[in-house]
Amino acid sequence: MRAQANDYGDKPIQVYVLSGYLGSGKTTVLQKLLEGSKAKGWRTAVLMNEAGDVNLDGELLAKDVPMAELLGGCICCSVKNDLGVSLLQLARDHRPDVIWIESTGVAQPLEMMDAVTEVSMYAKLELRGLITVVDARHLLDRLRLGAGKTLRLMREQIRGASLLLLSKTDLVGPGEAEEVRAQLREWNPSAAIEDIVKGETGTDLLTMLPGAVGVGGSRQDRQGLENGHHDHDRHNQVHRAHGNHDHGNHDHESPRLHDHVHVLTHYPSAPFRSDSFERFLRELPSSVYRAKGIVTFTDTAARYLFQFAYRESDFMPLAAQNPARDVVVLIGEDFNEADMRKRLVRLETMRE
């Protein structure tokens, strides 16, 4: 995996990690970042990490964007060793200006940053920062519930960020939104905070990024990079201070913050009735935070890519020639996987 720095040209490839808990809106933000990058003429590539066995969020991205996938685990754990190989392959095959890494919602951000910076020691890749998308409604509810593994993981994702994007502020009141912002400032006083609704902000998202992305290597870029190094030193200090998530060995003697998160992947053997499937989503237990997949219905002509996050669902028609197989992925905390699978199998047999 060793490479010469000049293999990828004189300019370093800028790398950004996009973090945030399940259903916070990371993929929507990624789409906006890619649109803005294209408008500026930047060559981009994407590394997507999914906790499940299939990458459904990748279906939402433009087909002309080079993409690598890391499936079946999070970057900070079982697939960490594959990260360097994937980054180097993207750099060698496509020579992008920027690589965006969208992590699974249950990944530890500091370990992801460590993994990327390891690659930068022998390839001309530069980690510019961590962007964390925060679901205002979900975080507010977690704060009011008090301590828990999910809240602790969300806090770590917030603490490690260089930029915080507060999403779904339209689903909370003004006072509640300010309550969430105050908590973000307490956990991470140095990060910029920007409200974002369905991927839209009042400012050009690219100008808010850590290091102010600039492909030409200007003085502003170099200054941003130096600041990024200082930020990473701070992240390392925070990581050492917590000292409870050491992946240097892979024995995992101490429990990870996301050990309680389950992923169920189900491949339907028959199409569903649309009303029955929508009712299934509405009736999912609160412990299921995220659902996504590709489904065929008995009463519609199109196949659909569906997303379910924090009690809201969305269906997008897929092109008829799309070769992806039908699949349903459920992600949540300590839910009964056997029961969920039985419900899905039952839906496959319903015809009236």
CA end-to-end distance (rounded Å), the chain: 56
Task: Report the candidate in 163, 161, 167 with the shortest Cα–Cα distance to residue 209.
Answer: 163
Question: d(Cα 245, Cα 254) in Å, to the nearest integer?
Answer: 8
Backbone angles phi, psi at 147, to 5 degrees: -60, 155
Output the six-digit token pair for 67: 């993409």
The answer to whether the CB of 76 falls within 8 A of the CB of 257 is no
pLDDT of res. 245: 38
Which numeric CATH code is attached to 7-242? 3.40.50.300
- Do the beta carbons of residue 330 and residue 293 sit within 8 Å? no
Q: CB of 305 within 8 A of CB of 316?
A: yes
pLDDT at 240: 31
What's the rounded Cα separation, in Å, for the pair 59 and 138?
25
Give the pair of three-digit tokens for residue 128. Answer: 């510019």
> pLDDT 10s per residue in the chain (352 long)?
434 433 445 678 888 989 998 888 888 898 889 988 888 899 999 988 765 555 555 565 667 777 776 655 555 554 556 777 888 888 888 889 999 998 877 777 767 776 777 676 566 777 888 899 999 999 999 998 887 888 988 898 998 888 999 998 888 898 999 999 999 999 999 888 999 887 777 778 888 877 654 443 333 333 333 343 344 443 333 333 333 334 333 333 334 444 445 667 788 999 999 999 999 999 998 888 778 888 999 998 888 988 887 678 889 888 777 777 888 888 777 788 889 999 999 999 876 5
CATH superfamily, region 261-349:
CobW-like, C-terminal domain (3.30.1220.10)
Instruction: Give the residue among 129, 115, 91 at the shortest CA–CA distance from 12.
Output: 91
pLDDT at 11: 78
Coil/strand/helix, residue 152: helix
Q: What is the pTM of this model?
A: 0.64
- What is the number of other CB atoms lying within 10 angstroms of the CB of residue 283? 8
Where along the chain do its domains lie? 7-242, 261-349
Q: How many CB atoms lie within 10 A of CB 230?
A: 10
Where residue 212 falls (left for φ over 0; alpha for ψ -120 to 50; beta otherwise) is: left
pLDDT at 182: 96
Helix axes 136-145, 174-187, angle to 10 degrees: 70
Chain position carrying tokens 């022998």: 122
